[in-house]
Amino acid sequence: MRARSYPRTWRRGAVVEPHVLQRLRTVEVLRDGAGIEVVHASDSLDALMTWMRGQDRSSWPHLLLIEMLPLAYGERERSAVAALRKAGVRVMLVSSLTPRGAARSLMGAEFDGVVSKADTEETLLAAVAEVLVGEEYVTELARAAVAPDPRMPQLSLQEAKVFELYVAGKPIGAVAESIGVKEDTARKYLTRVKKKYIALGRQANSKLDLARLAWEDGLLG
């Protein structure tokens, strides 16, 4: 793989990816395909932020490639990404973009680029090239992964979280605890999900109905 050439000021990168093998390969692609020195690689945004607080700004990355699962992207993570971009770090999301409903919220978030994990390494490098010169870049596969489906209701992030956790087998009390709300609030979110599906002419009365809908719509990763 031939390394691309970038201005000397764009030489450092960081990778946040929870899966070890994918993290190691992303580091290799940036190093060998883009000639970027990866100064930090870890499994979480918290780990990156902790590392950066202990470093001089001259050691900070110019580019961050991050896998952010849609259901884990809350206000805390959103604030951290905003702070990084304000500090001059270009932030690219490299994600499986599932579940589809929750992934749509990521497309509206403040990232400099979005790449699907179904994209090729060449596409990733093309996105890196655009982002490093100040352009925003969203790949075609990333757009397609979250394209609106007329048979799918538009769920809020909290509704999507409740839906995904509930059909995955968690009781509603555990769902509420997982997303930090009261049980009654979680029930309200679930009721809204059901009503939105029913409004589209799709049966959504039982837990089995919801599990079937989630499977049909690819809402479970």
Answer yes or no: do 188 and 120 share one domain: no
The pLDDT of residue 70 is 60
**Which residue range forms the structural domain that includes residue 164?**
157-217
Mapped onto helix, strand or coil, the DSSP state of residue 115 is strand
139 within 8 A of 127, measured Cβ to Cβ: yes
* 165 and 136 in a common domain: no
Asked if residue 5 is part of any domain, the answer here is: no
Residues lower than pLDDT 70 in the chain: 1-10, 69-74, 99-102, 104-105, 107-109, 148, 218-221
pLDDT at 24: 98
pLDDT for res 3 = 54
Provide the pLDDT for residue 51: 98
Domain count, the chain: 2
* 92 and 198 share one domain: no
181 and 201, same structural domain? yes
Boundary residue ending a domain (145, 172, 190): 145
Last residue of a domain, one of 117, 145, 173: 145
First-to-last CA distance in the chain? 31
Q: For residue 35, what are the contacts with CB-CB under 8 A and spacing of at least 6?
A: 3, 4, 5, 6, 11
Q: Residue 219's pLDDT is what? A: 67
The answer to the question of residue 121 being in a domain is yes
Same domain, 24 and 131: yes
Looking up residue 191, the CATH number of its domain turns out to be: 1.10.10
pLDDT value of residue 148: 67
- Domain boundary pick from 145, 177, 202: 145
Q: State whether residue 129 is helix, strand or coil.
A: helix
